[in-house]
Amino acid sequence: METIREIIEFSHDGYGQMWYPFSASFKENNTTISAEYYFEISDMLTLIRAMFDTNNHQPEIVSKRNLKLSQKHLVGLAKKTICAIRFRTEKSEYILQKCFIGHYSTEARLQKVGSTITYHGQNAIQTLGKFNKPIIIDDGGMYLNGSLIFKPLDSYSKSCMASLANNWARMIGLGDARIELDFEGRWSSMGECGSWGRGMSARNRIPSPLRLITNLAQAVMKKRTYGMSAPVFTPFNVETLNEFEAIAMMDLVRNVCKEESIQFIVGINSTSQTNSMINAIETPRLSIYEV
């Protein structure tokens, strides 16, 4: 079984509330993609997850028997979406393409770059199922407190991840929030955390900034334990911090990813000014269409 080690490129011609075409080339270690609104990041991560899913392929949606239904989807609110992802494993490089109607894949193509090998339809889906895939943490799991990347194997890995998370929180000025981890992989926090929660105290609830840090700690520990970590996609609500804290957070992520040689892709909602300071890839701004 091959493991996807690096995401190279991603493109789509519009999906959900990201109805505009968008493409991006990812850096080897850390890439930040910035949308104007946080809900656009959620849709992007939903689409990336759907690209690697193998249980959402329903080509019969466009069959003759369902012609009326397919016409309704093609011209109605749920438009057809074409998406492509180029990725690299330890052995080869591939281009995955899917066509979606709503949430369902109706066409699939997997090409092995540099060869004549191409899989179509169900064969592409079956072949995709043989890969160890990237980890996509979508908006639905943003405030879940579980370890979705790497669960502690013993006391050492548990204490290491908690120490990493707390040290990083202090480095970027969120030191009033104490992050804890139990042996079941559940994270919790208590105390203040920068501008998102002045004067608030919450346990068993991980806000966006601390959730990003705990995800990074898991990816680092997984790489140190197994010698590799699949690419991680995660959202980060920048509005929960002030500009200084947000920039410090993204600088931390970039430096850790480079030192640990992991690929960590973060989707944020931010202004063009902040984006220029953290070298983020911007999606088209929806405000240019406003009258």
Q: Which region holds residue 3: left if phi is over 0, alpha if psi is between -120 and 50, else beta?
A: beta
**Measured distance CA(206)–CA(185) in Å, rounded:** 13
Q: Is the pLDDT of residue 77 over 70?
A: no
Q: Is the pLDDT of residue 111 over 80?
A: yes
Q: What is the pLDDT of residue 142?
A: 47
Domains of the chain (ranges plus CATH)? 4-28+37-133 (3.40.50.300), 140-289 (3.40.50)
**Measured distance CA(183)–CA(73) in Å, rounded:** 46
**Measured distance CA(206)–CA(123) in Å, rounded:** 40
**Measured distance CA(284)–CA(34) in Å, rounded:** 9
Beta carbons of 231 and 49 less than 8 angstroms apart? no
Mean of pLDDT values over 62-84: 65
pLDDT tens readout for residues 222-276:
999 999 989 999 999 998 899 999 999 999 999 999 999 999 999 999 988 899 9
pLDDT tens readout for residues 183-235:
999 999 876 554 444 333 444 467 889 999 999 999 999 999 999 989 999 99
Q: At what angle do helices 155-171 and 243-260 cross, to 10 degrees?
A: 140
Q: For the whole model, what pTM was predicted?
A: 0.88
